[in-house]
Amino acid sequence: MSLFAAGRFPAYRPRRLRQSPVLRALVQETQLDPAHLVLPLFVRSGRKLRRPIGAMPGVCQLSPDELVKEAAQAAEAGVPAVLLFGIPDRKDAKASGAYARNGIVQQAVRLLKQELPGLLVITDVCLCEYMDHGHCGLVRREARGARILNDPTLKLLARTAASHAEAGADVVAPSDMMDGRVRAIRQELDRLGFSETPIMSYAAKFASAFYGPFREAAESAPRFGDRRSYQMDAANAAEALREVALDIEEGADIVMVKPALAYLDIIHRVKTRFGYPTAAYAVSAEHAMIKAAAAQGWIDEQAVTLESLLAMRRAGADILITYAATDVARWLRRK
């Protein structure tokens, strides 16, 4: 029986605590602060390059020099971290650009750490942007179709993560959803002397329709088939908890749920069950839908964005990865 049903709080009237902004702030249960934000950025080779992404208003592919400017603006607004995705000049069947010592992400990491040493640099560890077929792992062609090769892919993922750490990445974030990749990366990092480099695992990454604009941004759409054989079924929650448990057992330091807003129940269950630092990724279509509706005058972009991120925090997310991070930090400063 609840305390209210038992008559223990007969005089309680919730509206009393909503009468002014000061009162509401005093009793607010969930806080949204720039310290929670991570800004995803897309980098490609060149100079003075800002290539707009049509499906993601306000987001561009950036050359390294422009990337530094964008990251500096974010840091000045109060955003403490960025998440890097690379677009190589050349793709091949072994994703060699992903782990090349002078690959585009490796160049960007070194430049960011030189120019903005206080900025936390997280690198996405995946192969899809670097593969000529667009999948996240090595592929074997068979009579019945193509098959993603899990275990051989692990070596390339570990090599990629190590090359990012060597370039100066503060955190590596495997997003491929191959089984065993966190263990493979942790072992390789430790072997090479990067035992202090944390892993933020895309632990529960769903095969989602919300990724559409990202594939334009990262130029990573699969040339055949789809990613349902390795990304999670949107219908499965218990499986998500098993995925997270496996990644924690293998050495993940932070776990992520992706997408965010349509998966608040997963975020809550992950945080409640494991208590680990939990990231939520507000993905490309979440950003695009808000931008499109705001452009039509149908919604208040600032209010809807902040409410969406607050919902992720309320569900249990400690870290909010959002393309609106710089704007959000500025909005929060003005509040």
Task: Using alpha carbons, select from 315, 311, 310 the residue that is nearest to residue 332.
Answer: 310
Q: Which of 69, 91, 258, 291 is catalytic?
A: 258
The C-alpha atoms of residue 210 and residue 299 are separated, in whole angstroms, by 20
Residue 303 token pair: 């209010």
- Tell me the residue ranges of DSSP E strands in 101-192: 120-125, 138-142, 145-149, 171-174
Burial of 1 (0-12, 13-18, 19+ CB in 10 A): exposed
Q: Which of 205, 271, 291, 335 is catalytic?
A: 205
The C-alpha atoms of residue 55 and residue 216 are separated, in whole angstroms, by 8
The C-alpha atoms of residue 14 and residue 212 are separated, in whole angstroms, by 42
The C-alpha atoms of residue 271 and residue 137 are separated, in whole angstroms, by 29
The C-alpha atoms of residue 137 and residue 158 are separated, in whole angstroms, by 12
Sign of the four-CA dihedral 16, 333, 54, 56? negative
Upstream peptide bond of 259 is cis (omega within 30 degrees of 0): yes
Cα 50 to Cα 69, 79, 105, 116, 220, distances in angstroms: 11, 21, 16, 20, 19
Residue 205 token pair: 């990454």
Q: Active-site residue 113, yes or no?
A: no
Q: Active-site residue 205, yes or no?
A: yes
Burial of 66 (0-12, 13-18, 19+ CB in 10 A): buried
The C-alpha atoms of residue 18 and residue 27 are separated, in whole angstroms, by 9
Active-site residues, by number, are 205, 258
